[in-house]
Amino acid sequence: MKKYLMVLMIAVCALVVAGNAMAYIVPDDLALDFRTTAWTGAYNNPFWTVGDVTATALPQGSLLFQANDDGLGILGGEPDEVDHEEQLSVVINLGMSLSGVWITDLFTRSDGADPVNGEYGSVLINGLDTYYFMGINSDQGNGDQYVSFGGAKLVTSALFQIEGGTNNNDFSVAGFTRVPEPATMMLLGLGMLGLAGVWRKFKK
Ligand SMILES: [Ca+2]
Ligand SMILES: [Ca+2]
Ligand SMILES: [Ca+2]
């Protein structure tokens, strides 16, 4: 019986390692996902609302960009993303408990404008806390990068913008993550125990 528990533990460890290896690619299961068809209509509109969440292109007169791989950005300047003094505002009416955000299209720089940091941007959460992200830390496939808030935050607003003031800093926003609830983790644990039990019975 102990042998099978060992096998199970190894399988779990392998899954965790695989999960870490993919840590730099936007996962499919975001808590708030701007890549979904619900957000498709945002393209070429000044703002777009889905449920309690409204995204607005700033400054006034700007229009939203949307794509099913990159998420939201701002039209103009470079053809799609947040660049120049464009800003992407996200307002969540009653707030959502969120733990981080996935940025896309954020790359190192080949034009030499900022070879140290790469493309460089920030997000201001609830008008209080600023988190920075740089292209040198991104997966260079689609410029994916995860920005952690260092724990769950009740987020009511997020304001995305470039940093550094250069024209070629641009990025998109795929969406936000939520940390797994303790209840979810417990269910997962119970499920594993159950699986171990079934395995044991099956072997007898
Ligand atoms: Ca743009
Ligand atoms: Ca892209
Ligand atoms: Ca970019």
Give the pLDDT of residue 17. Answer: 47
Task: Give the separation between CA 11 and CA 129, rounded to whole angstroms.
Answer: 39
Residue with the bigger pLDDT between 59 and 11: it is 59
Residue 12, pLDDT > 60, answer: no
Ligand 1 centroid–CA 71 distance in Å is 13
Q: Cα 112 vs. chain centroid, distance in angstroms?
A: 27
Q: Using an 8 Å Cβ cutoff, are 123 and 101 in contact?
A: yes
Q: What is the residue-averaged pLDDT of the chain?
A: 86
Q: Ligand 1 (ion): which residues have CB within 5 A?
A: 74, 76-77, 83
Ligand 3 centroid–CA 186 distance in Å is 39
User: What are 113-156's pLDDT values in tens digits?
Assistant: 677 889 999 999 999 999 999 999 999 999 999 999 999 999 99
Give the pLDDT of residue 193. Answer: 75
Task: Give the separation between CA 182 and CA 177, rounded to whole angstroms.
Answer: 15
Q: Is residue 9 part of a domain?
A: no
CA atoms within 13 Å, Cβ hemisphere of 47: 11
In the chain, the number of structural domains is 1
Domain holding 36, by residue range, is 28-182
Residue 16, pLDDT > 60, answer: no
Mean pLDDT within 72-97: 92
Q: Is the Cα torsion angle 138, 149, 59, 68 positive or negative in sign?
A: positive
Q: Using an 8 Å Cβ cutoff, are 162 and 120 in contact?
A: yes
Give the pLDDT of residue 76. Answer: 87
Task: Give the separation between CA 198 and CA 112, rounded to whole angstroms.
Answer: 59
Residue with the bigger pLDDT between 2 and 173: it is 173
User: What are 39-75's pLDDT values in tens digits?
Assistant: 999 999 999 999 999 999 999 999 999 999 999 999 9
Q: Which ligand is nearest to the CA of 107?
A: 3
Q: Is residue 161 part of a domain?
A: yes
Q: Is residue 194 part of a domain?
A: no
Residue with the bigger pLDDT between 113 and 100: it is 100
Predicted model pTM = 0.78
Bridge-based pairing state of the strands 172-177 and 32-33: antiparallel
Q: Is residue 15 part of a domain?
A: no
Cβ-based neighbours of 181, under 8 Å, separated by 6 or more:
none
Q: Is residue 21 part of a domain?
A: no
Residue 2, pLDDT > 80, answer: no
Q: Is residue 204 part of a domain?
A: no
Task: Give the separation between CA 171 and CA 119, rounded to whole angstroms.
Answer: 8
Q: Is residue 146 part of a domain?
A: yes
Q: Which ligand is nearest to the CA of 73?
A: 1
Q: Which ligand is nearest to the CA of 111?
A: 3
The DSSP string of 111-163 is SSSSTTT-SEEEEEETTTEEEEEEGGGSBTTTTBEEEEEEEEEEEEEEEEEES
Peptide bond into 59 cis (omega under 30): yes
Ligand 3 centroid–CA 121 distance in Å is 10
Q: Is residue 23 part of a domain?
A: no
Give the pLDDT of residue 156. Answer: 98
User: What are 19-44's pLDDT values in tens digits?
Assistant: 444 458 999 999 999 999 999 999 99
CATH code for position 148? 2.60.120
φ and ψ of 198, to 5 deg: -60, -45
Q: Which ligand is nearest to the CA of 65?
A: 1
SS3 category, 13: helix
Residue with tokens 């099913």: 68
